[in-house]
Structure 1
Amino acid sequence: MRAFEVKVDGYSPIIFGAETAAKARWRAFSQYSSVYVCSFRRFLSISKVRPVPMPEGVDPKRLLLGVAQL
């Protein structure tokens, strides 16, 4: 599992654990769309994903939930 930072316009970045950047973005979209009405196409235009080092002291299982905020 790798760590990816997902940044949505207007919000702080959140770290997600996933095998690929696409899976990290999908997890972020799943959480975002549970609060806001947004198509995946729109989400692609307002979000950015980049790989980051695995945060020290963070259980990789917690990253699956996208709970590690910086």
Structure 2
Amino acid sequence: MASNRRSNQLVVPQASQALEQMKMEAAQQLGVQIPQDGYYGNVSTRDAGSLGGYITKRLVQIAEQQLSGGNR
């Protein structure tokens, strides 16, 4: 059975709350039910992939805005 260890480490640990908030907002927009217990084993691969893709797209948009110096 898989352990509950995460191999990904945040570069900026203080960003964990913002990333969690972004995950919740993405799930709400996509209509994906986030498990209350934090166990994602029962989330379909399609739903998990769409969440990850949405979050990545949003993070790229934020970085592009910061690099261009604009707030669209």
Normalised to the residue count of structure 2, the TM-score between the two structures is 0.29
Normalised to the residue count of structure 1, the TM-score between the two structures is 0.29
Structure whose residues are more often helix by fraction: 2
- Between structure 1 and structure 2, the one with the greater Rg is 2
